[in-house]
Structure 1
Amino acid sequence: MSYNYEELSFDEARDLLRQWRESNERRSEEVVELWLTILSDGLDKIGNEKHVLLEQVIFAALDCHCYSVANNCIAILSNEFPGSLRVKRYQAARLEAEEKYTEAVMLLDKIVRADETNSAVYKRMIAIRKARGEIKQAIEDLVDYLKKFISDVEAWQELCELYLQMQDYSRAAYCAEELILHQPHNHLMHQRLADIRYTMGGIENMELAKSYYCQALKLNPDNMRALLGLFLTTNNLLNHYKSSGNSSKRKEVWKLCQWAQSQATKRQQAARAAPAAPGLSQMMLALAITE
């Protein structure tokens, strides 16, 4: 829905910002425009929503690089709540948006020393490390963070991604295992660990990858990435068991490999009518199994 902001009344503008907050819509440019054209001159009429609206405007202004608007809103809050750690977080966010990372880290460090339970501040410091390309330091900080907030699933996911970026697959696998402990019914967690084990290579890792791909498919039979991963993994295992002479293992893996291939082919045929469907049949032909 489009709005002619110049024709909105004060109450309509305030209600519109409330609506965007409740529906988690960022709408940064519109928020700044409404603030500058309508709401900024009637701050005393906003009522109980004053502080949350100012927070909304601060982050919208930072998104749009309107630092003067953000500074004015931060100053209003700072005058009302001198020494507030929450207001200091807004100041750090402004410094971060302006790429004044050293000053931002110093301010965030002060907040952490005053409140060691403030997880959001720790995360901002780690994000700054990433923005500066300090991946190793970001990993160290994230490990320290998880010692305090061990149940933070998003932090484990981020640490896993950073280890993968550094090609430290064994530690990435450990993080993926932690994620499975926190979300055992999430098929994507099992698929992620299977992908890592497959990348690591070796018979033991291939066997583990096979098991986790199977579990991912058990939780979500429509997971095509897990299905293709299972096919590739069992195909690799077939070559090993063929050379090692382990006929019982080879027979078991052969059945699983045939099943994965047939399932992928059936789904590809079912989706053939869709022009954007990926050519799984070509991939399967390129990786044809020979008994």
Structure 2
Amino acid sequence: MSATLNPRVERLEGAGQAPAATGESPVWRAAEQALYWVDIPACKIVRLRVDSGQRSEWRLPEQVACIAFDRHGTVLAGCETGLFALTLSEAVSAASAASGEPLATSVRKLAAPEFGADGMRFNDGRCDRQGRFWSGTMVQNMAAANPAGALYRFDAQGVLSAPVVDALITQNGLGWSPDGTTMYLSDSHPSRRLIWAFDYDIESGEPRNRRVFADLHHHAGRPDGAAVDADGCYWICANDAGLLLRFTPEGKLDRQLPVPPTKPAMCAFGGRDLDTLFVTSIRPATGASEHDGHLFAVRPGVTGLAEPEFAGEL
């Protein structure tokens, strides 16, 4: 029997009054005590310094879906046409201040896969415990249910792999166990709703022995973005159900946590003690509530793990 938790879920007003269309990829950067996330169709990266409430944003020339950082603070981003290195400038020009435009960025393309269909982009992505960056692709028109998506690895030497996992419709849910030897991956398309686990070779970066970890046809919602806590449990955003679900390493659902938005998109641990779970959300085109598209924070009673940095030089 799974427990339903009801800790206080706080909407972070400092994140801004305007909702994101598709809020994704929250990343806690301890060096700045700040949370970063993206709004995919707005082509935007946002930062919130949680203690002060200071908010900054950067607009990119194309959609950005997932981000990680290297040790210098350079951003590695999965976008529409490939992987990019981004330098986020702190300086605001007089022209941009007057016009209200977001801060400028320096953008450099690193690599691109051979997309399997038209109208694709990168989606969910993050670094493994050794600092390799992983991200998958998807056809943006989800109604097409096109399994042209694939999962890729970008290593510290700057080499983008061939597809490691293919035939994905809506790649999501990447995460690794605390010791790095188990990798998690989901497909959040309504026709799939599956989370898989793999044995993960931490030396080679190769996942093997793919098996179903959780089938959300037996639970609520679709498996979107995820986070792993210090106990090795896997938290998944149950999109369309307004829930966060926690599965034990054995794949047993042991907690359900209601959140205000109907479509929670991805969660990440952060805060000074990594005891806060930040949750981004999506605002549907019709029937949106006042909460959809906003950023939320909750203390679920467990701590998370520091987000690994990319091991290479960008």
TM over 0.5: no
More helix by share: 1
Q: TM tier, shorter chain?
A: under 0.3
Higher radius of gyration, 1 or 2: 1
| Higher RCO structure, 1 or 2 (CA under 8 Å, sep 6+) | 2
Higher strand share: 2
Give the TM-score of the pair, scaled to structure 1.
Answer: 0.24
